[in-house]
Amino acid sequence: MSKKTLVISGATKGIGRATAYKFAKEGINVAFTYNTNEEIANEMVKDLEEQFGIKARAYPFNILEPEKFKELFLLIDEDFETVDYFISNAMIYGRAVVGGYGKFMRLKPRGLNNIYTATVNAFVCGAQQAAKRMQKQGTGGAIVSLSSTGNLVYIENYAGHGTNKAAIETMVKYAATELGEFGIRVNAVSGGPIDTDALKAFTNYEEVKQKTCELSALNRIGQPEDLASACYFLCTSEASWITSQTLIVDGGTTFR
């Protein structure tokens, strides 16, 4: 897999950052997006290249404008010879999800629409651009979307996100079915609660963390590296007959 290229959205923190480092450690070039913090993104590029001897580039991108994935990939074409793996990871929280994060009776169209745009539309637009390049290269590829077990079990205030995660897992199945003839595999990685800044933004973060540790058969909350390893596995030849699936990485929390 060395000298191939991963494109991942939202990689300056949390799961995205852990995933970028996991792939770089294996000798894979990394093209990643960031939202606003250019300084952190540039520091990460330098660190990835110095640590692992790969090529890394960072691109500013607003995940609420998924139609601009076309322009983004044209920039990536200038910096990298191929696109072999695409991971749809970026998500929104904070002000953008007002009306989408809360109990059912408080949900509002604007917040819900923003979550859908950043989750489902972003996956579709990004995966389309990646698949076009994989198809043209004729060597196949792997596409992965991050998901969440919040569409399988009840999580307080998570209705807006949980329903969109269910949608993304269905979209993955459609993409996998139609792209399989080109040797392109499409899967999702569904995580239980992972200890990231996005989770810390939840008003009941401490409660969620404690409850996750209690429910987990392994007595701990998930870490970004847990999902990064799952994403990497699905892109390797070890997973060459796995497509249209959702790999659940939850520490056993959804069974209890």
Cβ neighbourhood burial of 46 (10 Å; 0-12, 13-18, 19+): exposed
The alpha helices in 101-149, defined as continuous H runs, are: 109-116, 122-137
d(CA 158, CA 100): 8
Of residues 4, 158, 200, 205, which has the active-site annotation? Answer: 158
Cβ atoms of 245 and 187 closer than 8 Å: yes
Of residues 46, 165, 173, 205, which has the active-site annotation? Answer: 165
d(CA 112, CA 102): 10
Please say if 200 is a catalytic residue. no
d(CA 200, CA 208): 10
Sheet with 141-148: list strands edge to edge: 56-60, 29-34, 5-8, 85-88, 141-148, 184-191, 246-249
Please say if 165 is a catalytic residue. yes
Output DSSP code: residue 114.
H
Residues 6+ apart with CB under 8 A from 148: 161, 162, 165, 190, 191, 192
The amino acid that residue 149 corresponds to is T
Positions marked active-site: 158, 165
